[in-house]
Amino acid sequence: MIKGFVFDMDGVLLDTESVCDRTWKLAAKDFGVDDKDAMRTISLCRGTNKKTSRKIILREIGPDFDVDAFMKTTSDYFKKIEAEEGISTKPYAKECLAYLKGKGYRLALASSTRQVVVERELKTACLYDFFETLVCGDMVANSKPDPEIYATAVRNLNLLPEECVAVEDSPNGLKSGKGAGLVSVMVPDRVGPSEETEKITDYLFDSLKGIIDNF
């Protein structure tokens, strides 16, 4: 019996991934990185924390690439866009959380983003109060696709993994949730379903409305 839902944040509840694409393209231009290389690399980084993303960038762009300056530049562009335009919620985000809360499901968040950013963005979007517990990228030793972050969220809810659903948009996130033993829901954002993700996806929905209609 399902008793809890553990949500990813970026690309699932908030439309941050499209902003990240913009920031990477801007930074890539500044650093002389080809657009295609930048987009290929960010697709591999989706769902991971800063430490893991750093390793991926060095592997994909080159060991001598100034990755720290590049990541600071993407962060500066993100802050500028966030301040000037705000971050949109994904379709049905608030409706889905309100529906689940109303049905008595326990809610947690498992995001690779740092805690200070997660709390700020959730509060700005008026989504913060839906969650009993937040587990963020700087609160665990291992990044997605490692299962640690989902295992921690389930433990914080005092539930069993098989009693919880992981809601994700990225392959790294799906691997993390499934590896921790949760039922998996994929709501694709910037990366569509593939043969790989189909093997570890229990439910595939076009939007969060799929959760409202099926749980």
What distance in Å separates the CA atoms of residue 99 and residue 105, rounded to the nearest whole number? 9
In the numeric block, which tokens belong to residue 80?
A: 């500028």
**What pLDDT does residue 179 have?**
97
Average pLDDT over residues 163-187: 97
Supply the angle between the helices 50-61 and 35-45 in degrees, to the nearest 10. Answer: 140
Contacts of 27 (CB under 8 A, 6+ apart): 33, 38, 70, 73, 74, 77
Amino acid identity at 196: E
Query: Are both 79 and 124 inside the same structural domain?
Result: no
Query: Are both 133 and 30 inside the same structural domain?
Result: no
**How many domains does the chain fold into?**
2
Does the pLDDT value for residue 148 go beyond 90? yes
Average pLDDT over residues 178-183: 98
What distance in Å separates the CA atoms of residue 114 and residue 7, rounded to the nearest whole number? 15
Query: Are both 23 and 100 inside the same structural domain?
Result: no
Domain boundary among 85, 109, 125: 85
Distances (CA, A) of 165 to 9, 61, 162: 14, 35, 8
Question: Other CB atoms closer than 10 Å to residue 24's CB: what's the count?
Answer: 23
Does the pLDDT value for residue 80 go beyond 90? yes
CATH number of the domain within which 170 lies? 3.40.50.1000
- Are residues 6 and 108 in contact, defined by beta-carbon separation less than 8 angstroms? yes
Residue 49 pLDDT grade (very low, low, confident, very high; cuts 50, 70, 90):
confident
Helix/strand/coil for 117: helix
Query: Are both 109 and 163 inside the same structural domain?
Result: yes
Does the pLDDT value for residue 192 go beyond 90? no
Average pLDDT over residues 159-186: 97
Average pLDDT over residues 10-33: 94
Query: Are both 78 and 94 inside the same structural domain?
Result: no
Average pLDDT over residues 44-59: 90
Residue 65 pLDDT grade (very low, low, confident, very high; cuts 50, 70, 90):
very high
Q: Which domain holds residue 61?
A: 16-85
Q: Is 110 left (phi over 0), alpha (psi -120 to 50) or beta?
A: beta
**What pLDDT does residue 190 have?**
83
Helix/strand/coil for 188: coil
pLDDT, the chain, mean: 95
Query: Are both 178 and 109 inside the same structural domain?
Result: yes
Contacts of 212 (CB under 8 A, 6+ apart): 92, 95, 96, 99
Q: Of all residues in the chain, what percent carry a pLDDT higher than 90?
A: 88
